[in-house]
């Protein structure tokens, strides 16, 4: 650490300024990461809703064939039907 501080000080640039810049860069990176995560979550939620809506339109026989593999069969059926029928 001290070697780095000496070299920046010798260049005529105070080391604490550089440190502040580094902190700002870290903050910006963290904000960008948060935004990306939020976008991904929103996209995933949209995709899940679309799958469930498609699923809800099917009859019971197709429902049991397990078109939405992420949930247990009965749960995926019920979730799809609830979203289409009662919730909206």
Per-residue pLDDT tens for 13-25?
566 677 787 888 8
Question: Would you list the DSSP string of 14-82?
Answer: -HHHHHHHHHHHHHHHHHHHHHHHHHHHHHHHHHHHHHHHHHHTS-HHHHTT-S-TTS-HHHHHHHHHH
Per-residue pLDDT tens listing for the chain (88 residues): 556 565 555 566 566 677 787 888 888 888 888 888 888 888 877 777 766 665 555 555 555 554 544 444 455 555 555 555 554 4
Q: pLDDT tens for residues 22-35?
A: 888 888 888 888 88
* Other Cβ atoms within 10 Å of 55 Cβ, number: 20
DSSP secondary structure letters along 57-70: TS-HHHHTT-S-TT
Indicate the pTM of the whole model.
Answer: 0.33
């Amino acid at each position: 650490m001290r070697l780095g501080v000496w070299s920046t000080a010798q260049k005529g640039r105070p080391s604490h300024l550089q440190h502040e810049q580094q902190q700002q860069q870290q903050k910006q990176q963290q904000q960008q990461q948060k935004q990306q995560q939020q976008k991904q979550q929103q996209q995933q939620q949209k995709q899940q809703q679309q799958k469930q809506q498609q699923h809800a339109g099917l009859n019971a026989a197709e429902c049991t064939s397990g078109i939405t593999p992420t949930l247990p069969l009965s749960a995926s059926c019920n979730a799809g039907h609830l979203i289409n029928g009662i919730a909206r």
